[in-house]
Amino acid sequence: MNQLDFNDRHAVITGGATGLGYAIAERLIQSGGTVSLWDRDEAGARKAAQALGMKASAVACDVADFASVQQAVKSTLPSSPRIDALVNCAGITGPNTKLWDYPVDAWAQVFAVNVHGTFHCAREIATVMRTQGYGRIVNIASVAGKDGNPNASAYSASKAAVIGLTKSLGKELADVDVRVNCVTPAAVKTAIFDQMTPEHIQFMLSKIPMGRFGLPSEVAALVAWLCTEDCSFSTGATFDLSGGRATY
């Protein structure tokens, strides 16, 4: 494993109890930092923090609820007066169906978590980072936000919105040492697959030239670098992590 320098830094990771969020937390701790796991599953977050050890803490947070995000910031700062990195990892897929059959409530829920949740967290923590004069924000988007997966219109559109948000916020924070980037993975086999149909999972696999799904540890390696001080001249950028699917 390559050694990254996240020594004495603190990161907030949304959706940190499981999947990509947990893998990212693990890598940042291995790189010398501490983490706060924000998750609406408070019991799961506490269990994850216990597994990660003394450098991890759990904070109950529903990113779709702005008041919950504000409270999470207040709960995080006393134990760590700095927030050096924010990883917006919380997300849902929504159902796999044609747009004309897509449930209106499900569409709204996908945007509430994937887009509004990213906005809520970035809005509040960007203020903290501007005050302290330093920060790194990494948004987890998806190659679906670039390609548009059939039978996943809400997910694809929401992740395209995250890419656009990243580009705008990166420019807005370019006057201070706060960098904002996003990662667009192809399919990575985590518990989020439980929200998808077998047919959709096979479709995603068929699009990856490497012929396999990504590993959470592979996503964590890139995200961890984007959280470090070494990522100094990249902002508003989109980093593909797609096994060769995305070549543009």
pLDDT in tens, 100-131: 999 999 999 999 999 999 999 999 999 999 99
Mapped onto helix, strand or coil, the DSSP state of residue 34 is strand
Domain that holds residue 29: 10-241
- In sequence order, what DSSP letters do the residues of 95-141 get, joined into one string? ----GGG--HHHHHHHHIIIIIHHHHHHHHHHHHHHHHT-EEEEEE-
What is the C-alpha separation between 35 and 80, in angstroms, rounded? 9
Q: Which helix (H) or strand (E) holds 73?
A: helix 66-76
Structural domain includes residue 5: no
Output the domain CATH number for residue 168. 3.40.50.720
Q: Quick one: pLDDT band at residue 4, thresholds 50, 70, 90? A: very high
pLDDT, residue 193, reads 66
Residue (of 241, 222, 219) closest to 23 by Cα position: 219
Q: What is the dihedral of CA 216, 222, 224, 228, to 10 degrees?
A: 180
Query: Token pair of 28, please?
Result: 């940042």
Whether residue 177 has pLDDT greater than 70: yes
In tens, the pLDDT along 18-53 reads 999 999 999 999 999 999 999 999 999 999 999 999
Mean pLDDT across the stretch 197-204?
Answer: 79
pLDDT, residue 198, reads 81
CA distances in angstroms from 242 to 99, 205, 210, listed in the order given: 25, 10, 9
Residue (of 61, 66, 55) closest to 89 by Cα position: 61
Q: E strands of the chain, at which residues?
A: 10-14, 34-39, 56-60, 85-88, 135-140, 178-185, 237-241
For 89, other C-beta atoms within 10 Å of its C-beta total 29
Percentage of the chain exceeding pLDDT 90: 81
CB 41 within 8 A of CB 63: no
Structural domain includes residue 169: yes
pLDDT, residue 3, reads 86
Q: Quick one: pLDDT band at residue 189, thresholds 50, 70, 90? A: confident
Structural domain includes residue 95: yes
Whether residue 7 has pLDDT greater than 80: yes
Query: Token pair of 84, please?
Result: 């050096």
In tens, the pLDDT along 207-236 reads 888 888 889 999 999 999 999 999 999 999
What is the C-alpha separation between 180 and 121, in angstroms, rounded? 13
Q: Quick one: pLDDT band at residue 195, thresholds 50, 70, 90? A: low
Q: Which helix (H) or strand (E) holds 88?
A: strand 85-88
Structural domain includes residue 126: yes
Q: Which helix (H) or strand (E) holds 216?
A: helix 216-226
Lowest-pLDDT range of 98-107, 141-150, 175-184 = 141-150
Structural domain includes residue 25: yes
pLDDT, residue 5, reads 96
Whether residue 201 has pLDDT greater than 80: no
Percentage of the chain exceeding pLDDT 70: 96
Q: What is the value of pTM for the model shown?
A: 0.94
Whether residue 184 has pLDDT greater than 90: yes
Could you tell me the maximum CA-CA distance found in the chain, to the nearest angstrom?
Answer: 50
Whether residue 248 has pLDDT greater than 80: no
Length of the chain: 248
Catalytic residues: 155
Structural domain includes residue 224: yes
Residues with Cβ within 8 Å of residue 12, at least 6 apart in sequence: 35, 36, 38, 72, 76, 83, 85, 86, 87, 121, 125
Q: How many domains does the chain have?
A: 1
Q: Quick one: pLDDT band at residue 247, thresholds 50, 70, 90? A: low
Structural domain includes residue 45: yes
Residue (of 95, 90, 92) closest to 199 by Cα position: 95
Structural domain includes residue 1: no
